[in-house]
Structure 1
Amino acid sequence: MKPFKFKQFEIHQSSAVFRVGTDGVLLGVLANVSQANNVLEVGTGTGLISLMLAQRNSGAYFLGVEINEEAVHLTRLNFENSPFNVRLKNILQDFKAFETAEKFDLIVSNPPYFEENPSSKDIIARQTIELNFGELISKSAKLLSENGIFSVIIPYDVESVFIGIAQQNQLFLNRKINIYGIQNSKIKRLVLEFSLQQNVLEECDFVIEKSPRKYSDQYLEFTKEFHVFKG
């Protein structure tokens, strides 16, 4: 499988690991990484999100936790070949068993979101078998620094469940980005950001395509430092 090329790095991929996708790219450009010194990514896959965030914040250090051995291999390869390699580390670890005294300024995840089903495609990355919302949220809440941010991208239809679990873990929703696949369509995804501090909710919309196969000006602006667009 050919690497996916970005302007400053490339992503080696495998059929056994969830590939580069729009959700990962969106979280990579939208997560609030500007004030973070140390970042934790839960479920790194190929390392795409950490690499994008490392490009956006040249002073932050990143740790990735991933349970899939093949994904860890790919992430390490992609980290090592990037210009940000000294600030990036990835470990093979079940997040539920991950222990550290360190607190993180940003915890970011594109989590599994389908309940268990018969499909065998990308089973760890897509289905909540190894890590469900409750486990992800409760562990992340304990690892956040005082002013840290927990940032995720999830399907629109699980919003109330996810926010409810976050509230049970004393996490407050501070930022909500409504993702539209195409202009004037229904909301497809949400980027949600939580913290231990209660602040006024910031909410905005983000449109990926203005018409079929035509990226919106908003998407082009946010991804211009990453994507290599043809013509």
Structure 2
Amino acid sequence: MKPFTFKQFIIEQSKDVFRVGTDGVLLGALADVHGVSSVLEVGTGTGLISLMLAQRNLQAHFLGLDINEEAAALTSLNFETAPFHTRLKNRHQDFKTFETEERFDLIVSNPPYFEESGSEKDKIARQTVELNFSQLIANAARLLSENGIFSVIIPVEAGDIFISLAKENHLFLNRKVNIKGIENSNVKRLILEFSLQRNEIIESDFIIEKSPRQYSDQYLELTKEFHVFK
């Protein structure tokens, strides 16, 4: 497959690994990486989100995990060729059985979100076959540092249950970004950020396109340091 070229790095892609998509770009650009020193990405795919976060935070060190062996190999390739490769590590690892003494300042994930279906297309990356929300949240809560942040992007339909499951694991919603595909449409995605601390919830709206195939000024500004716009 054709590589995806960003301003500071290149993402090699594969037909067997979930490709670069808008959800990943948005999480990589919007997740709160300010002031953190250790980042864990769950389900790296191509490594896109960690690479974007590494560009935004020049001190943080990153560890990526993916249960898919081909995805882990692709992440390794993309990490190795990036200008910030010395701060990037990844493993072929099941998050459910991941053990470490380290606690992370940021745990980030674009998790699988469709219930299991008969389709084999992007089965691990898109369906809750290997990792469901409960497992993701419980393990993230266990591995967060005291003031750490857990940041995800999910469909709006899953928002209430995700927030409820997080609360059961003593993770409290601190930030919510409502994402619309196009102006005057319904919210389709949420970026949710949780911590072990109760804080006032900061809520904002984000619009990807102002009209069909025309990026909004908001999206262009957000991604100007990443995308190579023609």
- Give the shorter-chain TM-score range: over 0.9
CA distance in 2 between counterparts of 1:163 and 1:34 reads 23
Compute the displacement of 1:103 (Å): 0.3
Aligned residue number for residue 114 of structure 1: 114
Aligned residue number for residue 36 of structure 1: 36
CA distance in 1 between counterparts of 2:35 and 2:170 reads 22
Task: Write the mapping of 1:140-155 to structure 2, written as runs, cut at 5 A.
Answer: 140-155=140-155
Aligned residue number for residue 219 of structure 1: 219
| Secondary structure, aligned partner of 1:140 | helix
CA distance in 2 between counterparts of 1:36 and 1:63 reads 13
Compute the displacement of 1:112 (Å): 0.2
CA distance in 1 between counterparts of 2:188 and 2:36 reads 28
Task: Give the letter for the 2:38 counterpart.
Answer: N
CA distance in 2 between counterparts of 1:172 and 1:27 reads 19
Task: Write the mapping of 1:170-209 to structure 2, written as runs, cut at 5 A.
Answer: 170-209=170-209
Task: Give the letter for the 1:61 counterpart.
Answer: H
Task: Write the mapping of 1:95-110 to structure 2, written as runs, cut at 5 A.
Answer: 95-110=95-110
Task: Give the letter for the 1:224 counterpart.
Answer: K
Q: Runs (4+) of structure 1 moved beyond 6 Å?
A: none
Aligned residue number for residue 50 of structure 2: 50
Q: Map Cα deviations across residues 156-198 of structure 1 (whole Å, 9 max, x no partner).
A: 0011110010000000000000000000100010000000000
1:93 aligns with 2:93: yes
CA distance in 1 between counterparts of 2:120 and 2:98 reads 26
Give identity over the alignment, percent: 72
CA distance in 2 between counterparts of 1:65 and 1:133 reads 16
**Structure 1 unpaired stretches of 5+:** none
Compute the displacement of 1:119 (Å): 1.1
RMSD of the TM alignment (CA)? 0.4
Task: Write the mapping of 1:119-130 to structure 2, written as runs, cut at 5 A.
Answer: 119-130=119-130
Task: Give the letter for the 2:97 counterpart.
Answer: A
| Secondary structure, aligned partner of 1:70 | helix
Compute the displacement of 1:2 (Å): 1.2
Q: TM-score, normalised by structure 1?
A: 0.99
Aligned residue number for residue 156 of structure 2: 156
Task: Write the mapping of 1:3-22 to structure 2, written as runs, cut at 5 A.
Answer: 3-22=3-22
Compute the displacement of 1:122 (Å): 0.2
Q: Map Cα deviations across residues 103-137 of structure 1 (whole Å, 9 max, x no partner).
A: 00000000000000111110000000000000000
Q: TM-score, normalised by structure 2?
A: 1.00
CA distance in 2 between counterparts of 1:42 and 1:49 reads 10
